[in-house]
Amino acid sequence: APKHHWWWKISFVFEHVRALKSFNGWVLLLEEDHMLAPDALHLLGKMKELRKANNHLNIDFLNIGQQRVKVRNIPQAIAEGPMDVVTATSWISSKHNMGFALSREVWNEIKACSKEFCTYDDYNWDWTLQFIGSKCRGRSWQVLSASAPRVFHFGMCGVHFHGSAVSCDPQVATKEYREFLKGKLSSLFPSSLRLVELRRKGNAAKRN
């Protein structure tokens, strides 16, 4: 199942890569069909600082990507929105599953729920992760999420794709993202971030 491959991947990074044996920082999960904005790692660093300054929020994950809502264009709310706003909210599997980072501390919490993760009757790693958050550890995962994404998905074809062949073309998506970033050049690499708290339960997402 896809979720078991995901488990092997995260486990390999934290448990078996010798160079990371003593690494206690954050790991950003990316796939081969993801495109990063120039300031992606800069933003991630600023989000880590913001998380540290707001320990009371109990943030587990950092998220700098969003799945495209519309196939042929960037959602208007994102295209016209600010680039320096991050939201603190409950982690939603179908919303925060792309371009997100976790620490070894959080991995250890996930690992403590290995039985529940592997036996939960769903092949999706993200839905299973959401499940063990509330059922195994006792509280839903919390995330600090960038309102304007810095990780983009240009490989739109797949199991859950419901568009045309044209909208599935990675070149079309890549061109769209480059145009979006071109119009936001002056807003990239923000010197500080604005935090918005939005508390919600982690079970309101629609399954793929």
Which of 33 and 193 is assigned the larger pLDDT?
193
- Distance, in Å, from the CA atom of 195 to the CA atom of 114, rounded to the nearest integer, reads 33
Helix (H) or strand (E) holding 41: helix 40-53
Q: What's the pLDDT tens digit per position in 99-145?
A: 999 999 999 999 999 999 999 999 899 999 999 998 998 899 999 99
Averaged pLDDT for residues 60-80: 66
- Is residue 207 within 8 A of residue 94, CB to CB? The reply is yes
- Per-residue tokens: 33: 């069909």
**51 backbone dihedrals φ, ψ, rounded to 5°:** -60, -45
CA nearest 196: which of 82, 38, 111, 35?
Answer: 82
Give percent above pLDDT 90 in the chain: 57
pTM: 0.84
Q: How confident is the model at residue 9 (pLDDT cuts 50, 70, 90)?
A: very high
User: What is the 3-state secondary structure of 85-144?
Assistant: EEEEEECCCCCCCCCEEEEHHHHHHHHCCHHHHHHCCCCCHHHHHHHHHHHCCCCCCEEE
- Residue 2 clears pLDDT 60, i.e. is over it: yes
Residue 162 contacts residue 69 (beta carbons within 8 Å): no
Distance of CA 189 to the CA centre of its chain: 19
3-state secondary structure of 65: strand
Cβ–Cβ < 8 Å for 62, 100: yes
Each residue of 133-176: pLDDT tens digit? Answer: 989 988 999 999 998 889 988 776 655 555 554 456 778 878 88
